[in-house]
Chain A
Amino acid sequence: MKRRDFVKNSTLGTITTLMGIELVFGKVIPKGYTPLALQDSDPFKLFNKDKGMTVLNDKPWNIEATAHLLDDKITPNSSMFIRNNGLLPENTEAKTWTLEIDGESAEQLKKYTLKELKSKFKHHTYQLTLECGGNGRSEFNPPAKGNQWTLGAVSCAQWTGIRLKDILEDVGVKSDAVYIGYHATDRHLSLNPEKEPISRGVPMSKAMQEETLLAFKMNGEDIPLAHGYPLRLVAGGWPASTSGKWINRLSIRNIVHDGAKMTGSSYRVPCEPVAPGKKISDNDMCIIESMPVKSLITYPKTGAILKKGQVLELRGHAWAGELSVSKMDYSIDFGASWTECLIEKPKNRLAWQHFSVKINDFPIKGYYEVWARATDSQGKSQPMLLPGWNPKGYLNNACHRIAVKIS
């Protein structure tokens, strides 16, 4: 944060002032003061979020958007969901921030300062879709344990950073490398310093993609604290939990990374489809990689009343994990008939795509639902009902529906 901004904020006397103090004068503040402010304050002011966001959990912070708040083509911070597994880090001083690279398959142990990372490697900017693996969990039956996300745990911001592959090549990767595991400075809920709240990662093939970044900017500015300031991974199209925040160490592993929430049933689904409610042993659960095809109607907000003859200008976004969206359809008769609509090309690979259509063929007055259905480049479409049940309630990509009345 710039000094000028800090001065400006301090006159407002809001909690953002405290954030400014923490970032700029972190060492001057008595220990324990800022974290208290961080935990007890209004989350909307604290994280600069829209008041329409839904707080699912305040310890740890888990906040989601509503569909209509995600109308922007590039998601601003104000509408970006927060999914934290632990407590926010106590110290996020960029000046002293370092990144260590280690692991069985690293040619050497190496440590970089944040400044070195920024100066030594080429910067790249991509717009990348990040969706929580559990987005839509609230709809599963039998219910799945965890934060009950509805629709809004997805974002597509513009991320700037260095390619993960550039730094991995600089360190040297042994031929037996399998996985990258991340480590971060967030704190476990039990406050046990030995425990990591989350330490996930991606296989080498994903780590070496051009769009997989170690990012230090979001939408052209420093990454907001809740989204991983000062350094985070961004692996677009994969469960957002692979895009670790507040990264200070990366391990090049010769096994599938076995950090917190990599094992057991975390971010895993049954390798073979199962009947709802079935008990599944950990051995039969497979790690989620690319997210499935999905879309969201971001305009209008559900509940719109139109006059007979009034045109409904519908729009939204669609995405398909590692793939792209090749076709977009909507239905105004509960899926009995579908009409294709325009879908734009993505700004870059792994960015969501925008659809829009003018609907003026509501036959009579009454209650309607507009359903949206995307189809990916391999021909897979969103289901109209809930997709395959899984114990942790991941990967719900059922069609989004909004309610509309013609009066």
Chain B
Amino acid sequence: MSPTDGKFRKEVKKLYYYISLIALGIILVMAGALYLALSTGKTIFDEPGETKEIQLLDENIDQIVNGVHVATGFKEGKGLMEVIQNCTNCHSAALVTQNKMTREGWLATIRWMQETQNLWNLGKNEETILNYLSSNYAPEKKGRRNKLDEIDWYNLENP
């Protein structure tokens, strides 16, 4: 028997020892879980109610219906998340979505907010945000006066 054989046996014994210890640990944890399950009717695989609610909320936050981000009203598109993160801390998304501007106009608005309203430097997100805004909220062609629209017709009864 060579000295290396002895060393090998020692290593194997050590391994057996650790494996037994881990197995014992697992058995104890499972027994504990079984006890909890039997005594409370719950298992450790049930998630607490609170966690579930938060997950539901998270799903809603990302929800997009008919191309519109439900929570904010923003149009779906590349850069949506950057816009939400940078543009809705101070003001409502509605202040963005009701406006229509050229890329130049949106840039001027960002600069104005940075100069007077404490908006931070947008860094590399600025390009993404400008692309998003100028493609989704661009001016529409209209004349000096639009036709009357969105009329809800009703029968007028005189009092």
Enumerate chain A interface residues (CB-CB to B < 8 A).
Answer: 55-60, 139, 141-143, 145-148, 188-190, 192, 195, 264, 300-306, 310-313, 369, 384-386, 398, 401-403, 405
Establish whether residues A304 and B156, one from each chain, have CB atoms under 8 Å apart when the complex forms.
Answer: yes
| Residues of chain B lying within 8 A (CB to CB) of residue A142 | 139
Interface residues of B in 94-149 (CB under 8 A from A): 94-95, 98-101, 105, 109, 116-118, 139, 142-146, 148
Q: How far is the CB of A304 from chain B (nearest CB, A)?
A: 4
Majority secondary structure of chain A interface residues (helix, strand, loop or mixed): loop
Q: How far is the CB of A332 from chain B (nearest CB, A)?
A: 14
A274 to B144, CA, bound (A): 15
Q: Are A305 and B154 also in contact (CB < 8 A) when A141-B143, A143-B101 are?
A: yes
A346 to B94, CA, bound (A): 37
Closest 4 CB pairs of A and B: A190-B118, A304-B156, A59-B92, A189-B90
Q: Are A147 and B152 also in contact (CB < 8 A) when A57-B92, A192-B118 are?
A: no
When A and B form their complex, what is the total count of cross-chain residue pairs whose Cβ atoms lie within 8 Å?
81
A406 to B117, CA, bound (A): 52
Q: Are A58 and B94 also in contact (CB < 8 A) when A141-B143, A143-B99 are?
A: yes
Total interface residues on B, CB under 8 Å, equals 28
Chain B residue with Cβ nearest A144: B99
Establish whether residues B148 and A143, one from each chain, have CB atoms under 8 Å apart when the complex forms.
Answer: no
Other-chain contact of B151, A59, A141, A145, A403 (Cβ < 8 Å): A403
Majority secondary structure of chain B interface residues (helix, strand, loop or mixed): loop
| Residues of chain A lying within 8 A (CB to CB) of residue B99 | 143, 145-146, 148
Q: How far is the CB of B95 from chain A (nearest CB, A)?
A: 5
| Residue B8, interface by CB 8 Å | no
A384 to B144, CA, bound (A): 10
Establish whether residues B139 and A386, one from each chain, have CB atoms under 8 Å apart when the complex forms.
Answer: no
Establish whether residues A58 and B148, one from each chain, have CB atoms under 8 Å apart when the complex forms.
Answer: no
